[in-house]
Structures are given as structure tokens and as C-alpha cells.
Amino acid sequence: MKLTITAPQNQPAVVFSLVDQSALEQLIANKSIETLSDVVTATQFKAQFSEQLPLVGLSTETPFLTLLGLGDTEQLAQKKLATLAQHIITVAQKKHAAIEINVAALPAKFQYIFALQLTQANYTFDEFKSTKHQQVLEQVYFSNSQLTAQQIELLNALQSGQNLARDLGNKPGNTCYPEYLVTVAEELVKAYPNHLKLTVLDEQQIADLGMGAFLAVSQGSDRPGRIITLEYNSDREEAPVVLVGKAITFDTGGISLKPGAGMDEMKFDMGGGASVFGTLRAICEANLPIHVVGLIAAAENMPSAKATRPGDIVKTMSGQTVEILNTDAEGRLVLCDALTYVKRFNPAVVIDIATLTGACVVALGKILTGAFSPDDELIHELETAGETSFDRVWRLPVIDDYQDGLDSPFADIANITGPVGGGAISAACFLQRFTREYRWAHLDVAGTAWVSGAAKGSSGRPVPLLTQFIANRVK
Ligand code: BES
Ligand code: MN
Ligand code: ZN
């Protein structure tokens, strides 16, 4: 689906008009629909939030017009708008190729989010269904909007990037594994050869670099791990923004095996890496003038005769040794070596994105992403980008007081703490030991990268946040 602010050639006949009480009164007063006053009286339509009034055949200009109530626009919130977006898309998706949405009555500050929510509501995933979704909606024309052409361009790019992340997340572990992600990277380079440079490390190269923690995870699987690096606009002089994504294509827990119930959801454990792919696609499409490096640390965490045992000690690329007390705390193991590796890019800032801890889901639920950084300014930038894109974060601490819990009697560091609580924080503290040499933030998306329950599926978060963060950095 493509969003536009210029009317398409053949003006779509299907119009949704968002109205509050005063917009409704104006509409009645200007008499463009003669019988509107009577219909409103008869139906008692009050333009309350989510109220609908289909006016089929009442106007010759717009034979298919639906009024959608906004209620009191003072009481509007981004969350509520998602309901309206979902409604419009559900009605339009199967029936109409192009629709117009008149947003004159929608306060300007909500228009960007509303447009984004429309694109999100239009997403479907039916790759593995024998009967495909019927979907004909191709174009949404936003009339009377205050959006700029540039904002529309970013929205379309963002949609394409977020959809890529969602597709990757939704694919099961038997089709989405590290080598498959390499093909995704190759496709992206084919689509944007002038923007992207690809480097793929195989397990031999990973071993040669001394990444013992990464290999401790990938060695248990028959599917070999890969470290995928995509450099965007590598010819630019400035120091890059570096994104590092955890991409465990399936997390069984390894020898520290997870319980069976709900384990299918661990196919989403590559959501951090998927968001790096998605963000790269979005910035390619938006052609943003900035230098970015995306790294995807891809491995499968399996129990096998080759798998790491609890208590095994490995050496990381940084030289620090790690006692792996729990093989299910694997995200930090693949990330710590990736975070050491990216020093070579002399980053302006490094952000890692990971479905890292169940503890983060306990702390923040599935609404807000956990953001950790010792850098107040960087946190502020992430918070701002999260508000603008309605893909919000909440700061959690990463302070040295929690470091002692990671002490090991045998190695430099243990990969879990004892039963002291604060699991999301101690995971961040683990990563911090590998990131002291540059500006760094860690995003724990364990709660936000996918939705559980009846609407189970990848959310494509935090692609909106990261894309906005990068767009805000363009000088
Ligand atoms: N991928 C999981 C984190 C996770 C769990 C995300 C549930 C979303 C929902 C991660 O690899 C993991 O297993 N973490 C462990 C760490 C523990 C062993 C210290 C966890 O959170 O239980
Ligand atoms: Mn795990
Ligand atoms: Zn995991």
C-alpha cells in the first residue's frame, strides 16, 4: 500500500472522513450533502469516538462516503487512533484499490502517527497459508493533511522496512536460519547496490577473530552461525551510527532447555536482527544522507552433543573469559563478541537491539521497550524518536552497583547472576563490559518485538524508533 498526499489520477470514489462535532456541524451547514441533516438526526450520529456513519449514494461527488467520529479531539491519544486505522483498513483492504481519507479534523500532531498506523494495520502474512488473504488496497490518499512530501516519503520507506522485519520475524525457524538471513542481506544489496556493502563472516572466520562466546552458542546447531554486516553509505566521512541486532533464529535454551509451553515464540528471538534489516531497508528507500552500519549476529541455540554445557568457560574476542552458567542466556554471548567487533568502525554511537530477557517483559510488559545507557543524551534522543514514531522506550538503569552479581569464581565474568532479581539490568551490565570504548545504548525488545495471543505475530518494532532516530541525526 502506498500513501500519497497528492490526489491520484482517477479520484477514488471511496472516502473516509474523520469528523469531530464541529466538523460535522460545518458539513451540515455547507449543504454539499442535502439530506445530511436529516440522516444525522435520524441516526443520532454524534461524531463520538469510533462512531461510524456510512452515507452511500447521498452525494454525487463522493458516492461512498463514511463519516468516522473522532470524539473530543482534546481526548485523543495515539493508542486510540490505531483503532480507527484498523477499522478503515479492515473495511477497505478486501474491496477497494484506492481510498481517500479526509483528515482535516484530525489535529496535525496526530496525522503522522495515524498514517503510520494505517500502514501497520494493512500488514498481512500468509506465506504459509494455502489460501492467501484477499487484499486489493493499493493506495491511500490523505486529503487536507498537513503532512509534508518528505514525511510521506519517510512513511512509505518505514512501511517497507517494518514489513520486512515483520516477515522475517514471522517466518519459522525451519525456514529462517542464519544462512537464510545471509540471502536476505544479499537481496537487499541487489536492491540498493549504490548504498550497501555486505560482509559475511562464516564460523571459521568467526573463530579466527577469537569470538568464543558467539561460537559457544552456534556450535550446538547443525545450522552454522553467521555475522552479517551491511554498511550503508560507506563513502561518507562521518563516524557511523552502528546497529547491532541479536538474531537467534530459534532459541531452545540449549542444554539449559526452555519449558515446552510457548516455546514456538522463540522463533521471534531474531527480532533485533530483523529490525536492523528493516531499518536499513527504510533508510535505503528514504535515501537518507548518513553513514550507518548494521550488524546481524545470527545463530541458532540448540541442545546437542556439540552444545555448550553449563559451566563451560570460553574466551571472548575482547579477551575476557566467560563462565556460561546458563546456556539460555545466549543473547548476551553472541552480542558481546559482535560489540567488540564493531569497534573497527570507529562508531559515533552503537545501539544494540535484542529480545534479551524475560525479566524486561516482567518490568515493562509488552508496551514499552527497555532502554539502557549510561549516556543521558543518547537516552533522550531515543526517547524523542520513540515519541515521534509512537514506538516508545522507557529507561532502565545500567549502573556499576549491579556488576558484582556477574562475578564468577572461575572466569572473568559469569553469563548470569544469582537469584537476586533485576535480570534485564544485569544483562545490560554484562553487555556494558564490552562497550566501554564508545557511546552505547542497549534496547531490550523482549516484550515489544512480537505480539502474543490470538493476534500472534512479529510487530516489526523497533524499526519505527530506529528509523526516526537515524532520520533525526541527518544534519
Ligand atoms: N530470548 C530469551 C529472552 C526472552 C524470554 C524473550 C521470553 C522474550 C520472552 C533469552 O535468550 C533468554 O532465554 N533469557 C533468559 C535469561 C536467563 C537465563 C538469565 C531469561 O530471560 O529467562
Ligand atoms: Mn535464551
Ligand atoms: Zn534468546
Residue written as grid cell 528514504 = 286
Pairing of strands 226-232, 292-301: antiparallel
- Per DSSP, the residues of 84-112 read HHHHHHHHHHTT-SEEEEE-TTS-HHHHH
CA-based end-to-end distance of the chain: 30
Give me the residue spans of the domains in the chain: 2-147, 156-473
Write the CATH number of the domain with boundaries 2-147.
3.40.220.10
Pairing of strands 413-414, 440-444: unpaired
Q: Which residues pair with 37 in a beta bridge?
A: none
- Under the banding of pLDDT at 50, 70 and 90, the label for residue 361 is very high
Sheet holding 413-414, edge to edge: 312-315, 321-324, 413-414
- Asked if the model's pLDDT at residue 287 lies above 80, the reply is yes
Pairing of strands 450-451, 440-444: unpaired
- Under the banding of pLDDT at 50, 70 and 90, the label for residue 11 is low
- Under the banding of pLDDT at 50, 70 and 90, the label for residue 7 is confident
* pLDDT recorded at residue 445: 99
- Asked if the model's pLDDT at residue 326 lies above 70, the reply is yes
Print burial letters for 120-144: b (CB count within 10 Å at least 16), e (below 16).
bbbbbeeeeeeeeeeeebeebbbbe
Residue written as grid cell 537481496 = 187
| Probe target for ligand 1 pocket from 258, 330, 357, 417, with the most ligand atoms within 8 Å of CB | 357
Q: Which residues pair with 230 in a beta bridge?
A: 198, 294
The single residue of 2, 258, 315, 473 carrying the catalytic annotation is 258
- Ligand 2 centroid, distance to 243 Cα (angstroms): 21
Mean pLDDT of 288-308: 99
Considering only residues 268 and 30, tell me which one the structure prediction assigns the higher pLDDT.
Answer: 268
- Asked if the model's pLDDT at residue 6 lies above 90, the reply is no
- Asked if the model's pLDDT at residue 77 lies above 90, the reply is yes
Model's pTM, two decimal places? 0.98
- Asked if the model's pLDDT at residue 196 lies above 80, the reply is yes
- Ligand 1 centroid, distance to 407 Cα (angstroms): 20
Phi, psi of 250 (to 5 degrees): -155, 135
Pairing of strands 349-354, 369-372: unpaired
Query: In the annotation, is 456 catalytic?
Result: no
Is the four-CA dihedral 3, 6, 7, 8 of positive or negative sign?
negative
- Ligand 2 centroid, distance to 21 Cα (angstroms): 52
- Under the banding of pLDDT at 50, 70 and 90, the label for residue 65 is very high
- Under the banding of pLDDT at 50, 70 and 90, the label for residue 475 is confident
Alpha helix locations (H) across 94-177?
108-121, 149-170
Query: In the annotation, is 258 catalytic?
Result: yes
- Asked if the model's pLDDT at residue 206 lies above 90, the reply is yes
* Residue from 207, 209, 210, 311 nearest 254 by CA: 311
Mean pLDDT of 318-338: 99
Contact 2, 141 (CB under 8 A): no
Q: Let me know how many helices (H) and strands (E) the chain has, helices first.
A: 14, 19
Q: Which ligand is closest in space to the CA of residue 326?
A: 1
* Helix (H) or strand (E) segment spanning residue 243: strand 241-251
* pLDDT recorded at residue 218: 98
Q: Is 361 in the pocket of ligand 1 (CB under 6 A)?
A: yes
- Asked if the model's pLDDT at residue 53 lies above 80, the reply is yes
- Under the banding of pLDDT at 50, 70 and 90, the label for residue 12 is low
Residue written as grid cell 543473547 = 331
- Asked if the model's pLDDT at residue 252 lies above 80, the reply is yes
**38 carries a ligand binding annotation:** no
- Under the banding of pLDDT at 50, 70 and 90, the label for residue 13 is confident
Atom from ligand 1 closest to the CA of residue 358: 21
- Ligand 1 centroid, distance to 95 Cα (angstroms): 42
C-alpha cell at 208: 579466527
Atom from ligand 1 closest to the CA of residue 266: 1
Question: Selecting from 3.40.630.10, 3.40.50.300, 3.50.50.60, 3.40.50.620, what CATH number does the domain 156-473 have?
Answer: 3.40.630.10
The answer for residues whose C-beta is within 8 angstroms of residue 85's C-beta and 6 or more apart is: 114, 117, 118, 120, 121
The number of C-alpha atoms within 13 Å of 199 and in the hemisphere containing its C-beta is 14
| Range from 130-134, 215-219, 423-427 carrying the lowest mean pLDDT | 130-134
According to DSSP, residue 19 is labeled E
* pLDDT recorded at residue 419: 85
Burial class of residue 80 in the structure, from the number of CB atoms within 10 Å of its CB (0-12 exposed, 13-18 middle, 19+ buried): middle
Segment 107-166, tens digit of pLDDT: 999 999 999 999 999 999 999 999 998 889 999 999 999 999 999 999 999 999 999 999
- Asked if the model's pLDDT at residue 20 lies above 70, the reply is yes
**Which residues are near ligand 3, the ion (C-beta closer than 5 Å)?**
248, 251, 269, 331
Mean pLDDT of 45-65: 93
Contact 151, 112 (CB under 8 A): yes
**251 carries a ligand binding annotation:** yes
The number of C-alpha atoms within 13 Å of 101 and in the hemisphere containing its C-beta is 25
Atom from ligand 1 closest to the CA of residue 426: 19
* pLDDT recorded at residue 129: 97
Segment 376-399, tens digit of pLDDT: 999 999 999 999 999 999 999 999
* pLDDT recorded at residue 112: 98
Q: Report which residue type is found at 108.
A: A
- Under the banding of pLDDT at 50, 70 and 90, the label for residue 4 is very high
- Asked if the model's pLDDT at residue 301 lies above 80, the reply is yes
* Helix (H) or strand (E) segment spanning residue 381: helix 376-388
> Percent of the chain at pLDDT above 70?
99
